[in-house]
Homo-oligomer: A and B are copies of this chain.
């Protein structure tokens, strides 16, 4: 049962963190919900920080593969949409990490640097996608515009879920948040696409945006 209890603690923690926010979830509460004693929780984890860090590791392990973009594939709109869907779905499942970014980074040792590393990787991947579209001459953009676009894309990729959650707390359950986030991100890119692809992306976005 060793493995099982540990996993169970992680599951319960994740759902409580997401629901209530990590700072408002106590270890006693986790133990209570997990139907174990507080002492037992501390047998499996040395601290609450450890739980957070382990959850971050799990998130990272699932997120990193999504950032490995096949370099010279032809990148249709649907591919991008699908990639974004997977990515936002995952971020939604670990949304407590994104909600508190600055605070978590300051509170949990090592988490700050790890998260910064993640953001850098993601930025690099997004830049790769844009430049791949450029090479296929599907997208035209100046150097300065590209930097600004990258900033705005990263902002949307990082904070869309927190923002949506703030505006409409129920939207995460029915999936509308993810859909709107994807539409928002794609819309950022559309102005720089050349006409045929712009048309294709626009139709996709209009179909999904509510």
How many Å lie between the Cα of A48 and that of B162 in the bound state? 25
* Residues 154-210 of A contacting B (Cβ, < 8 Å): 154-156, 158-160, 162-163, 165-167, 180, 183-184, 187-188, 191-192, 205-206, 209
How many Å lie between the Cα of A209 and that of B151 in the bound state? 11
B154→A155 contact, CB < 8 A: no
A70 within 8 A of B: no
Given A103-B100, A151-B184, A183-B148, verify A167-B119 contact (CB < 8 Å). Answer: yes
> Which chain B residue shows the least CB distance to A152?
B184
> How many chain copies?
2
Give the B-binding residues of A (Cβ under 8 A). 20-21, 23-24, 99-103, 105-107, 116, 119, 144-145, 147-149, 151-152, 154-156, 158-160, 162-163, 165-167, 180, 183-184, 187-188, 191-192, 205-206, 209
B102→A99 contact, CB < 8 A: yes
Residue from A24, A101, A151, A205 with most neighbouring chain B CB atoms (10 Å): A151
A188 / chain B contacts, CB cutoff of 8 Å: 152, 188
A152 / chain B contacts, CB cutoff of 8 Å: 152, 156, 184, 187-188
A23 / chain B contacts, CB cutoff of 8 Å: 23, 103
A149 / chain B contacts, CB cutoff of 8 Å: 187
Given A23-B103, A103-B21, A187-B145, verify A151-B180 contact (CB < 8 Å). Answer: yes
A206 / chain B contacts, CB cutoff of 8 Å: 144
A147→B209 contact, CB < 8 A: yes
Given A160-B155, A205-B148, verify A103-B107 contact (CB < 8 Å). Answer: no
Given A187-B149, A206-B144, verify A166-B116 contact (CB < 8 Å). Answer: yes
